[in-house]
Amino acid sequence: MVKVLSIRMPEELYEKLKAIAAERGQSINRLVNEALRHVVKEKERQELYDAFTYLGKRFGSQSERIMPLQMRLLAERQARKKA
């Protein structure tokens, strides 16, 4: 399902987006969607990094114990993406 979103932005920002979109041969809509996907992906990466860092600090160098936990975190993350 597609959601429609209206946003307000300064005219200067709009003109810069318009120019970038034209350079790439794409719409402003597509450019904004790509930027938002990037923000979401970075948030997910940070959460995963934080989870792995926590496990590393909690279990130290006991990699044989950490690896299964990291794999479980990855599996849970994939399951949430599919849901």
The low-confidence residues of the chain, meaning pLDDT below 70, are 61-64
Instruction: Give the per-residue pLDDT at 24.
Output: 96
User: In this structure, are residues 58 and 50 in contact, taking their beta carbons and an 8 Å threshold?
Assistant: no
Asked if residues 52 and 70 have their Cβ atoms less than 8 Å apart, the reply is yes
pTM for the full model?
0.66
Helix or strand or coil: residue 2? coil
In DSSP notation, 10-50 reads -HHHHHHHHHHHHHHT--HHHHHHHHHHHHHHHHHHHHHHH
pLDDT of residue 48: 82
Res 61: pLDDT: 66
Residues 6+ apart with CB under 8 A from 73: 48, 51, 52, 55
**pLDDT computed for residue 14 by the predictor:** 97
- Domain edges within the chain: 11-82
